[in-house]
């Protein structure tokens, strides 16, 4: 069965820059047909503010993609939205757009999910425990473990732990966590990126990868044995590699992805190298999900200066991953 052409897109926080970015992308010509999952009034308002004439139609099963058209699966706002003004009343709306988009993908109406930025704080202020898209989508898909990976054209960084306070990170670096992160990342690189035998560079947790136990025991006691076990199963791994030398051009040569132990160990390097051209990919879901690499930018929302390039890259990479997975 041929996968549907549509990419389901959630613009995210309605008071942020997500709606602006989506209508900009639709106006400039996306690389794949877009199915916006949101309140169409939010997109219409953004288009009016930007002076864009968007050909927007309501989506229904069987609708054929047409060049220059933006399809919309309507999800109603809970309260009027104003750019730059967060309102906890719309937290449920934001979560509803994600739920509906996942249904569209899992029911076969869309090929992949592309997500715009959400505001974790306002969602939590509304009474929801929400640590991020990655964890929320894992719960929706009923999978025990997913991996966050950010990627540019030349660098991919996956994470063993994601949104944890730094004090909690060492306790979260367990044999099970490192093992599953390695295997999920390697499997996704094969299935969704078409890399027959991916090579992963696995970082150590401590400075100098523990310096033989003098700077921490996790590298020798946990990370290194997991790497050896995975190598015995045929995976191509380097490590534990000290993080301060892992991102040199020589170290990255021939490496398909870097596995960092925690959020700020790997992502500052990636965002420095490719901010605005990077995307966030959730590995381990039963569907493809790609997101922008920026936040809601409440401070510039409604001013007409938001850059849609990250959303454009997310759409392009989601389409590319969908094609690779279908081959």
pLDDT in tens, 228-272: 999 999 999 999 999 999 999 999 999 999 999 999 999 999 988
Tokens (6 digits) for 104: 């569209």
Number of domains in the chain: 2
Any known ligand binding at 185? Answer: no
Distances from the Cα of 151 to the Cαs of 82, 158, 283, 294, in angstroms? 32, 8, 12, 13
Query: Same structural domain for residues 137 and 186?
Result: no
Query: Same structural domain for residues 103 and 180?
Result: no
Query: Same structural domain for residues 208 and 317?
Result: no
Query: Same structural domain for residues 134 and 52?
Result: yes
Any known ligand binding at 134? Answer: yes
Any known ligand binding at 271? Answer: yes
Query: Same structural domain for residues 22 and 139?
Result: yes
For range 288-295, the mean pLDDT: 93
pLDDT value at residue 132: 86
CATH code of residue 190: 3.40.718.10
Lowest mean pLDDT across 174-183, 196-205, 273-282: 273-282
Query: Same structural domain for residues 207 and 258?
Result: yes
Any known ligand binding at 280? Answer: yes
Any known ligand binding at 163? Answer: yes
Reported as a single tens digit per residue, the pLDDT across 129-158 is 998 898 899 999 999 899 999 999 889 999
Tokens 């609708």, located at residue:
63
Average pLDDT, the chain: 94
- Percent of the chain at pLDDT above 70? 98
Query: Same structural domain for residues 222 and 298?
Result: no
Query: Same structural domain for residues 293 and 235?
Result: no
Task: Report whether pLDDT(307) > 50.
Answer: yes
Any known ligand binding at 289? Answer: yes
Query: Same structural domain for residues 125 and 185?
Result: no
Task: Report whether pLDDT(3) > 60.
Answer: no
pLDDT value at residue 4: 62
Query: Same structural domain for residues 164 and 54?
Result: no
Any known ligand binding at 272? Answer: no
| Exposure on the CB side of residue 43, measured as CA atoms within 13 A | 32
pLDDT value at residue 258: 98
Reported as a single tens digit per residue, the pLDDT across 33-74 is 999 999 999 999 999 999 999 999 999 999 998 888 899 999
Bond preceding residue 185 cis, omega within 30 of 0 = no
> Which residue range forms the structural domain that includes residue 236?
146-284
Order across the sheet with 279-283: list the strands. 55-58, 69-74, 34-38, 7-10, 112-115, 289-292, 279-283, 147-151, 156-159, 257-260, 199-203, 236-241
Query: Same structural domain for residues 152 and 221?
Result: yes
Query: Same structural domain for residues 129 and 152?
Result: no
pLDDT value at residue 1: 38
């Amino acid at each position: 069965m041929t996968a549907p052409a549509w990419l389901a897109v959630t613009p995210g926080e309605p008071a942020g820059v997500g709606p602006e970015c989506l209508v900009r992308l639709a106006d400039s010509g996306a690389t794949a047909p877009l199915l916006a999952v949101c309140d169409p009034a939010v997109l219409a308002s953004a288009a009016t503010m930007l002076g864009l004439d968007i050909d927007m139609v309501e989506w229904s099963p069987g609708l054929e993609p047409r060049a220059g058209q933006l399809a919309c699966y309507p999800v109603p706002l809970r309260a009027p939205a104003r750019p730059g003004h967060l309102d906890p009343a719309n937290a449920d709306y934001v979560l509803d757009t994600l739920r509906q988009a996942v249904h569209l993908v899992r029911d076969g109406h869309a090929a992949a999910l592309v997500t715009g930025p959400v505001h974790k704080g306002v969602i939590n202020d509304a009474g929801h425990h929400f640590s991020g898209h990655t964890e929320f989508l894992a719960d929706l898909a009923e999978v025990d473990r997913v991996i966050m990976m950010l990627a540019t054209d030349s660098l991919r960084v996956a994470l063993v732990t994601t949104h944890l306070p730094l004090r909690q990170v060492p306790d979260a670096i367990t044999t099970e966590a490192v093992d599953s992160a390695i295997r999920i990342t390697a499997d996704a690189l094969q299935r969704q990126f078409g890399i027959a035998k991916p090579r992963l560079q696995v970082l150590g947790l401590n400075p100098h990868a523990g310096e033989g136990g003098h700077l921490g025991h996790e590298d020798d006691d946990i990370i290194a044995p997991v790497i050896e076990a995975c190598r015995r199963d045929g995976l191509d791994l380097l490590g534990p590699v000290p993080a301060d030398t892992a991102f040199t051009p020589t170290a990255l040569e021939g490496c398909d992805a870097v596995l960092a132990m925690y959020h700020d160990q790997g992502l500052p390097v990636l965002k420095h190298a490719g901010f605005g051209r990077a995307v966030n990919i959730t590995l381990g879901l039963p569907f493809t999900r790609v997101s922008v690499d920026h936040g809601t930018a409440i401070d510039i929302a409604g001013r007409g200066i938001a850059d849609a390039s990250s959303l454009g890259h997310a759409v392009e990479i989601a389409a590319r991953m969908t094609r690779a997975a279908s081959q």
